[in-house]
Amino acid sequence: MKIPLSWLKEYINIKLSPQELAHRLTMAGVEVSHIQKSGKDTILELDLTTNRGDCASIIGVAREVSALINRPLRPPGISEKDKKQKGIICFQERRVPNRALTLSLLKVILFAFLGRRFLSMN
């Protein structure tokens, strides 16, 4: 799993070098197999084992780092600007044999900031 350091810094104040952070994560059981520069950012590549499912998301890794460096976690929130953004979500009604009503998600338009994040992972 690839984790940009800039994403981690949105949730926790990290003052360690990427190498020191990688060493601490590895010693805690979250192996950092590779550190690479991508533009102005640093990407940590994690090799997660099945017993570390808690670190399978950016928030999970941020919680782990928070505990390792004894700094408070800033939980994610939605900014006022993002609350006013409008996306389009379309649902299609479909009946199943047991007559239960289900909703199938057909299309979601992602906000621009998510697109930029995914593109930064090259």
Tell which residue, 38, 60, 82, has the closest CA to residue 46.
60
What is the C-alpha separation between 43 and 7, in angstroms, rounded?
10
What is the C-alpha separation between 120 and 16, in angstroms, rounded?
22
pLDDT digits (tens, 9 = 90+) for 27-83: 999 999 999 998 899 999 999 988 888 999 999 999 999 999 999 999 877 667 766
H or E element at residue 41:
strand 41-47
Residue that wins the pLDDT comparison between 74 and 114: 74
Rounded average pLDDT over 105-109 = 40
pLDDT at 36: 94
**The whole model's pTM is what?**
0.65
Domains within the chain, CATH numbers bracketed: 2-69 (3.30.56.10), 80-119 (no CATH)
Q: Band the pLDDT of 108: cuts 50, 70, 90.
A: very low
Least confidently predicted of 3-7, 21-25, 39-43, 91-95: 91-95
pLDDT at 78: 66
pLDDT at 118: 65
**What percent of the chain is modeled with pLDDT above 90?**
51
Average pLDDT, rounded, for the chain:
78
Tell which residue, 110, 108, 109, 5, has the closest CA to residue 58.
5
